[in-house]
Amino acid sequence: MIRLVPPFLAALLLAGCVAEGAISDGPGIAPIPGSITYGGQPRTKLRKAPVGSTFDHVFQDNLGRRVVETYRIQPDRSLLLIHRRVRIEYF
C-alpha cells in the first residue's frame, strides 16, 4: 500500500500540470479588452506576412498589468490567438 502512494501523487501532480497548460494555451483562448481580435477579426488583413507566421501584441489590461499575446496568421489571413502572458511589474 505504501509503495503505491508516491507514484499516485506523482501522476496526480503531472495531470494537474498538463491540464493547466491546456487551459492557458491553444485556440480556445478568449480575447480580452485590448486584444486585436476583441470584438471580432480586424477589417484589414495582413497580406505581406507569410501564412503561419506569428507576432506579439503588447498592451495593458484594465488592471494595469502588461499583457503579451501571440497571434498566428491563418491561411484565410485571419488571426488566431495562440498564447497570452500576463506580467505583473513591481516598482
Residue-range domain boundaries for the chain = 26-87
How does 22-58 read in b/e, with b if 16+ C-beta sit within 10 Å? eeeeeeebeebeebebeeeeeeeeeeeeeeeeeeebe
| Residue 87 pLDDT grade (very low, low, confident, very high; cuts 50, 70, 90) | confident
The predicted pLDDT at position 17 comes to: 45
54's grid cell = 506569428
Query: Is residue 77 a contact partner of residue 52, using CB atoms and an 8 Å limit?
Result: no
Q: Model-level pTM?
A: 0.66
66's grid cell = 502588461
CA angle 84, 31, 15 (to 5 degrees): 50
pLDDT digits 0-9 by tens, 6-58: 666 566 555 544 333 333 444 578 999 999 999 888 888 888 889 999 999 99
